[in-house]
Amino acid sequence: MSQTKSHLPFIYNPAELTKSELIENFVIRNYEFEQIFNIIKNDDMKNPPQHIIIQGQRGTGKTTLLLRLSYAIKDDKELNKWLIPVVSDEESWGISTLAEFWKHTAEDLEEINDDSIGVSAEIEQYENDENFGEKSFEILQNNLSSHNKKIILFIDNFGDLVKKFNRKEHQILREVLLTSSNIRIVAASSVVLEFTYEYSEPFYEFFKVFRLQNLKKKEAEKLLLKMGESYKTNEVKEIIKNCPQRVEALRRITNGVPRTIVLLYEIFVDNKTGNAFHDLELTLDRVTPLYKHRMDDLKPIPQKIVNVLALNWDAMPVKEISKQTKISSKQVSAQLQYLEKNGIVTKERTNTKNHIYYLSERFFNIWYLIRRGRKKYKNRVRFLVEFLELWCTPKQLLKTVSELKEAMHNGTVHEKHALYMTEALDYISLERSEQHSLIAGTRKYLEFPQSEQVNELSHFDIEIYNEIIKLLKKGDEKKAVLMVTKIKNKIYEDNFLIGNIYFYGVKNDKKAEEYYKKAIEKGNSGAMNNLAMLLFERKLRKEEALELARKSTIAKKYLANLHTLLMVLLWNDEIEESIKIWKSELFKEEYINRWIKGISEIFNFFIAKKQYNFVYKVFTENKFEIKERYKPIYFALLHFMGGKYETERKKMGPELKETVDEIITAIKQMGKDYS
Amino acid sequence: MSINTIVGQAATGENFYERPKLLNDIWRIIESGSNILLVAPRRVGKTSILFYLSDNPKRGFRPLYLITESVNDENEFFRKLYGHIFELLDGIEKFSQRIKNLVGKNKISEISKSGVKLEDVKLDYYGALIKLFKILDLDGEKLIIMIDEFPETVENIKRDKTETDALRFLQKNRELRHSAIIKEKAQFIYVGSIGLENVVSKMNASSTIDDLHSFGVPPFTEKESRDLILDKILKNSEMQIENEQVRFLLSKIEWLIPFYIQLIMDETYKLYSYEELKKINNEVIERAIDKSIQHKLYFDLWLSRLKTTFKGNEFSFVKSVLNHTSEKDTISSAEIYNYAEGFNITEIYKNIINTLVYDGYINNNDNPKIYHFNSPILKRWWYKYVAN
């Protein structure tokens, strides 16, 4: 790959890469490549061979895989003696019959194999023959047999090609594939293939199918790191290490489509300190020409339907589409069939007669929402990306972020200092490389008026805290305590501070509890809260935890201890009181909007405690756009509710599945842990 | 090394699992002089058997395989047959004079495997075929003409021409089989993925095939299935499966046809590779089965085939019967009749059920009054993707 930035044509046309570039960058789809190559290598084609179809949606790497296989055959000294790979043009220009297909194949063959020169001319002589189709294949086959050669046809967009053939041509092609030992087909197709035929489809039944799944986390990182190698930069490596949540959120929201991940690569590299949503926005510009073209190609009525589906994002039934477009249900159904056949829309079957539909290419949907929709539609994407980014943040970073957020919402004069201190403690416990990401993340979240806090982030005495932790880890408690007393501008009581250092920094629960209790004796509400939280996290002594949490909020109410109280109430199955706290103290716009981690935990715990209807009501009332902001949790809730909510649950886009599954697992675990 | 599966394509050479008893039975019938109708639902391995017979003939016999799925015209069928037999001639030049005699006064513009091209006139290939057989010298061997997708050919003619033409075609084939010249030199095996008996029965033309010896190809036995897995599929593979898991897998498949066995083994291997498993246990096999029914391309044809064959109330009836069976595991003949009444097809419903039986959807082997899906895999797929 060149050292300049990649550009749209490459991404959408891997055939423009040189052979060495393609091979060098082929890091995903190794399983499929090896399996298919083994099939080819271990068969001398003395008998009719196994034909293969590679299926996957747009951008999953089908064309790249076909090309990789063709190169592998060319490079194989044993195979290339007798097997000729022929790669057909992607768009199959001008082919509308089987005979034309054979002629086109002959022409492709002539370009790469001197022994075949003249075959297409011979075929042309029979153009007006009644049995032209049969004849053209016979000529091709004879040419191959006479030179002891066989061909392997790599055909892209196979579904589009065979769609043009009539029934008889399908039957003839099937006969050929069943009986000829001169030709093997390795075809690629999007999922449109399944909906292509109105009549009997024995045609595909003897292809072996390889489905290209969307990339999981490891594979996506592998791809990005490889690109980093090609560009000779370490940026992506750093981003994957320091802000893995950024990469992961984007992988999930774009459904792990390789082409999209490649697009995102350069954005990552150019925007080291960005966030996922911003990354997304930057990427969209690069695909606008393609997607705009796709929309413009549609006639007005299908355009209207696509518009409605895109803005809704979740799947919709025909009735709802009809209502919003003001087009009759019958016409909508007919248009949906057309859109489905062309891979623009996917149908999700439900338990009823009424199925639901969503846009197949999720990145296209995102593009639409951000580029074409109003702010409220753009926000849908932003909310989800923020949720995913947080959900995917590794634990060690998560604690820091949540603590910072919590600290921000303290309504006391100590708020500023709590921020510094908390930050310092967590900052110390992180490696240098993570500190950078912490500050970057913190800046983003500090969007409150007290922005002077942002400027003061770096201005605290890290060294002293470093030293204190070192001493405590060594066991030199006396010296550590002495140092604590010398800290300037601290506002917390020494025992509380030491308790925190033990809890967050040294991770010694016993010692933390000891010092918290000392602080509690002096009426320190922060210590009450933190000890309650410690007990909660360790799943110990729930009644004591509840007592502490209550005492803390009686002394002074703030976000962190209200959160702790609610969680501990639920743990103790005090459902009504927990709901009261929620309603009176925590169900506020600023918390819903900014405190994603805390609110998520609360929802998850309510669900773990089987309070489905309560949570469902909160979502359906949709105050503060809560359903959009916490969409994955909403769908996880529907899973637990089951029954009549199953259809609603199926409206979830495929990009959410992985996250929703994780949330469901987490909730189930919570239910077990806090039963 | 990976596993060795063939999905969909006919199994040939080393990939073919020999069933000596079955093959001996077929040869026994051939040697008795009968013409055979090979009967079994799709995917059971009929074409593979034909290929095997073709590659491994018994002394005194010369198999000839042809597939006529695309044929929709009587003359075209005989042209194709003619073309294949033509290949048996030793060199065109040697016999060109004789060919000229075959076509009479008509001028030949070309002779090839595709047939004989005459100027201005269409050759009657049935007549030409008979004449060709007269001059055919097989050194004392008998030709076994194996015609794959013959029932499809009948349906094509019925659809694209008329039912009368289809009937005529069947009669012509019967004539051919009974012609003294042909009988001396050839026997026929007819095979199709749809039931010829059902096709002709709908046309009230059962007499056109009552001379055929119907031979059913059964699914694999458990031993054969186990051997297929352990000796063929897993041969040289790094993935190994214990006997217990093989038993479990086969118990889940129940209707042991090579296609399902290979499909699930494929999915098992995928899980084994992707997840870097050390061992295959029952849970992995269950997951592999779940994954395999997600292959719409393999299973959709079970539904689409019905959509082509049955229209209107007939299709609604079929769908209701299969939905019911997928949900409740079985359906009684009384319940079937009830559906037939509901869709006003009491006159023809039995034929429809016979089609479902022949084509491998359901069977009533255990109890004539109770039907269930042949394959639990198909049932699972139907329940998930069609009934719901």
Instruction: Report how far residue A569's alpha carbon sits from residue B91's, in angstroms, rounded to the nearest whole number.
Output: 95
The predicted model gives A73-77 an average pLDDT of 95
Question: What is the per-residue pLDDT across B245-285, written as a single tens digit (0 to 9) for each?
Answer: 999 999 999 989 898 999 999 999 999 998 889 999 999 99
CB-based contacts of A160, cutoff 8 Å, min separation 6? A92, A189, A192
Alpha carbon of B367: minimum distance to chain A alpha carbons (Å): 31
Report yes or no: B64 at the A interface, CB cutoff 8 Å: no
- Are the beta carbons of A175 and A48 closer than 8 angstroms? no
3-state secondary structure string across A593-629: HHCHHHHHHHHHHHHHCCCHHHHHHHHHHCHHHHHHH
Question: Within 13 Å, how many C-alpha atoms sit on residue A329's CB side?
Answer: 8
Kindly list the residues from chain B whose CB atom is less than 8 angstroms away from the CB atom of residue A168: 70, 72
| Interface touch B308/A200, C-beta < 8 Å | yes
- DSSP-derived letter for residue B109 is E
Of B51, B270, B301, the CB nearest to A205: B301
| Interface touch A349/B47, C-beta < 8 Å | no
pLDDT at site A379: 84
**Residue A454 pLDDT greater than 70, yes or no:** no
**Residue A573 pLDDT greater than 60, yes or no:** yes
| Interface touch A193/B297, C-beta < 8 Å | yes
Question: What is the per-residue pLDDT across B203-248, written as a single tens digit (0 to 9) for each?
Answer: 889 999 999 999 999 999 999 999 999 999 998 889 999 999 999 9
pLDDT at site A55: 86
Question: What is the per-residue pLDDT across A225-250, written as a single tens digit (0 to 9) for each?
Answer: 888 887 767 777 877 887 788 888 88
| Interface touch A168/B10, C-beta < 8 Å | no
Residue B275, exposed/middle/buried by CB under 10 A (0-12, 13-18, 19+)? exposed
Question: What is the per-residue pLDDT across A276-322, written as a single tens digit (0 to 9) for each?
Answer: 777 778 788 778 887 888 888 888 999 999 999 999 999 999 999 99
* Mutate: best of B54, B56, B70, B309, partner A, most A CBs <10 A: B70
| Interface touch A48/B7, C-beta < 8 Å | no
**pLDDT confidence band for B106 (50 / 70 / 90):** low
Alpha carbon of A476: minimum distance to chain B alpha carbons (Å): 47
- Are the beta carbons of A631 and A663 closer than 8 angstroms? no
Report yes or no: B7 at the A interface, CB cutoff 8 Å: yes
Of A131, A135, A171, the CB nearest to B69: A171
Instruction: Report how far residue A559's alpha carbon sits from residue A349's, in angstroms, rounded to the nearest whole number.
Output: 43
Report yes or no: A35 at the B interface, CB cutoff 8 Å: yes
Nearest chain A residue to B276, by CA: A31
- DSSP-derived letter for residue B107 is P
Instruction: Report how far residue B190's alpha carbon sits from residue A214's, in angstroms, rounded to the nearest whole number.
Output: 45
3-state secondary structure string across A268-298: HHHCCCCCHHHHHHHHHHHHHHHHHHHHHHC
List, as ranges, residues 303-362 from B with C-beta within 8 Å of A: 304-305, 308-309
CB-based contacts of A599, cutoff 8 Å, min separation 6? A586, A591, A592, A630
| Interface touch A138/B388, C-beta < 8 Å | no
**Residue B334 pLDDT greater than 70, yes or no:** yes
Alpha carbon of B38: minimum distance to chain A alpha carbons (Å): 18
Kindly list the residues from chain B whose CB atom is less than 8 angstroms away from the CB atom of residue A213: none
Kindly list the residues from chain A whose CB atom is less than 8 angstroms away from the CB atom of residue B298: 205, 209
Which strands make up the sheet holding B370-373, listed edge to edge?
A: B331-332, B370-373, B362-367
pLDDT at site A667: 96
Report yes or no: B298 at the A interface, CB cutoff 8 Å: yes
Alpha carbon of B24: minimum distance to chain A alpha carbons (Å): 23
Report yes or no: B32 at the A interface, CB cutoff 8 Å: no
What is the 3-state composition of chain A as percent helix, strand, coil, each rounded to the nearest 5?
70, 5, 25
| Interface touch B298/A131, C-beta < 8 Å | no
| Interface touch B51/A206, C-beta < 8 Å | no
**Radius of gyration over every alpha carbon of chain B, rounded to an integer in angstroms:** 24
- Are the beta carbons of A316 and A358 closer than 8 angstroms? yes
Mean pLDDT highest for which of A3-12, A490-499, A603-612? A603-612
CB-based contacts of A572, cutoff 8 Å, min separation 6? A542, A543, A546
Kindly list the residues from chain A whose CB atom is less than 8 angstroms away from the CB atom of residue B153: none
Instruction: Report how far residue A458's alpha carbon sits from residue B272's, in angstroms, rounded to the nearest whole number.
Output: 50
List, as ranges, residues 140-179 from B with C-beta within 8 Å of A: 148, 152, 156
Nearest chain B residue to A55, by CA: B297
Nearest chain A residue to B147, by CA: A175
Q: Which DSSP string corresponds to B369-388?
A: TEEEES-HHHHHHHIIIII-
Q: How far is CA A360 from the centre of its chain?
A: 14
Q: Which amino acid is at B155?
A: E
Report yes or no: A194 at the B interface, CB cutoff 8 Å: yes
pLDDT at site A93: 64
| Interface touch B9/A135, C-beta < 8 Å | no
Q: Which helix (H) or strand (E) holds A509?
A: helix A509-521
Question: What is the per-residue pLDDT across B191-200, written as a single tens digit (0 to 9) for each?
Answer: 987 778 888 9
Instruction: Report how far residue B214's alpha carbon sits from residue B191's, in angstroms, rounded to the nearest whole number.
Output: 10
Q: Which DSSP string corresponds to A74-87?
A: HH-TTGGGTEEEEE
Kindly list the residues from chain A whose CB atom is less than 8 angstroms away from the CB atom of residue B388: 349, 351
Report yes or no: A38 at the B interface, CB cutoff 8 Å: yes
Report yes or no: A31 at the B interface, CB cutoff 8 Å: yes
Kindly list the residues from chain B whose CB atom is less than 8 angstroms away from the CB atom of residue A169: 70
Instruction: Report how far residue A242's alpha carbon sits from residue A227's, in angstroms, rounded to the nearest whole number.
Output: 18
* Segment among A172-176, A253-257, A350-354 with least mean pLDDT: A350-354
pLDDT at site A512: 92
Kindly list the residues from chain B whose CB atom is less than 8 angstroms away from the CB atom of residue A202: 42, 69, 193, 301, 305
Instruction: Report how far residue A195's alpha carbon sits from residue B303's, in angstroms, rounded to the nearest whole number.
Output: 12
| Interface touch B273/A197, C-beta < 8 Å | no
**Token reading at A232:** 């000779």
Nearest to A157 by CA among A5, A54, A293: A54
**pLDDT confidence band for A445 (50 / 70 / 90):** very low
- DSSP-derived letter for residue A45 is -
**Residue A194 pLDDT greater than 60, yes or no:** no
| Interface touch B2/A55, C-beta < 8 Å | no
Kindly list the residues from chain B whose CB atom is less than 8 angstroms away from the CB atom of residue A51: 8-9
**Residue A199 pLDDT greater than 50, yes or no:** no
Assessment of whether the complete model's pTM goes beyond 0.80: no
Question: Going by DSSP bridges, is the β-strand pair A316-317/A356-359 parallel, antiparallel, or unpaired?
Answer: antiparallel
Q: What are phi and psi for residue A183, nearest 5 degrees?
A: -130, 135
Kindly list the residues from chain B whose CB atom is less than 8 angstroms away from the CB atom of residue A193: 297
Alpha carbon of B260: minimum distance to chain A alpha carbons (Å): 12
Report yes or no: B9 at the A interface, CB cutoff 8 Å: yes
The predicted model gives B349-363 an average pLDDT of 90
- Are the beta carbons of B2 and A43 closer than 8 angstroms? no
| Interface touch A47/B7, C-beta < 8 Å | no
Question: What is the per-residue pLDDT across B129-185, written as a single tens digit (0 to 9) for each?
Answer: 998 888 888 888 999 999 999 998 999 999 999 999 999 999 999 999 999 999 999
- DSSP-derived letter for residue A129 is -
